[in-house]
Amino acid sequence: MTETGAQPTTTTGEEMHSLVERLYPLCRSITGDGVRATLDIVGEYIPLRVHEVPTGTQVLDWTVPQEWNIRDAYIADSTGHRIVDFAASSLHVLGYSVPMSATMPLAELRAHLHTLPDHPSWVPYRTSYYKPEWGFCLAQDTLDAMPDGDYEVRVDSTLADGHLTYAEHVVPGQVADEVIVSCHVCHPSLANDNLAGIAVAAFLARALAAQKPWYTYRFIFAPGTIGAITWLARNAERVERVRHGLVLACAGDPGPLTYKQSRRGDAEIDQVMRHVLTASERPHRVTEFTPYGYDERQYCSPGFDLGVGSLTRTPYAGYPEYHTSADNLDFVSPEAMADTLAVCREAFAVLDRNRRYVNLSPYGEPQLGRRGLYDSLGGRSDAQQAQMAMLWVLSLSDGEHSLLDVAERSGLAFDTVAAASDALHGAGLIKA
């Protein structure tokens, strides 16, 4: 099993869950004040650089849309009682609903109502970002209890020129090469799909900042699809420095971890994640890339072809609660988020130490004893493994094999191989 030093504690998991609780009531969308309020709260945990991109800005093949904000929305019966109330849950309104104020019969209203007949007590999450529309989401049980008659319908919203908002946090590394960690901030009250990933990303950034990492880590908090596309359009020169990446989502549900590989399938992050998940002996799945899901599909698009995978617990649309009111605070746990965070830390610890070396004494086996390398192993319980690790590193240090390649071929723990490379490098026998 890979060892990475301090691991997230139960307290860390509870702190992440508390952050999810604070973010949960906010009404987020691909633009608007809900995104800004979300980033304000995340900014209390890690410093953020917030970017505002005006409506109408061309971003690759897309255009930044108008900004949507909402203050109130409801369906009320003839007595004024609010049967459906946005104040009770941000899921109750179709995302990006245009302003509406009218009284209409139930027969006419039904065309604008969205339910889940298979889960009659749950409220669905629905949006209409790029087609002017209005609507409400409600439980099928609520709809079934509504008698025929007239209902007051009101959506107090604005759809006007404004901005798309996203934010970045950078953990400086020893080199300028970057690892990006991306999560989406556009969903309303959905605890797992959105908020758990945001919380894990924030606490991962804090953990990395305390470690002086090798790579520079750039955390991107952006609306799904249009946000990632906007970041890519505005960072064409920086993209050349991105060596690895990970998209975080669905980070807090009770399911086992799932890693979705990059489009290339052989990127270093793919090898690292496969190794870490297997070595940890956690229940997990590794899946092939598909051009649908989260923003890995933007970073992996052919023109960029970045080595970016996706880490979730239960994947996109893989659990009944997905995009419903049942994806609530009870659905995510501190333990699951702490476990997701631990895997990220383990993976980035391997990524940061993974190097390719060249053997500076490649003709025959160099004499390790006269360099004090065998003596340094005296008293170690793993002395035999450490010795074998040195021999394996020397054997495969041809500039083509990484330390992770050595670990997988030898069957030795990555940390043992990395420690052996440090000793050999210190003795002048290998160079990066």
Q: Are strands 216-222 and 178-184 parallel, antiparallel or unpaired?
A: parallel
Q: Residues within the annotated binding site? A: 187, 193, 323
CB atoms within 10 A of CB 117: 8
Residue numbers in the known binding site for Zn(2+) are 187, 193, 323
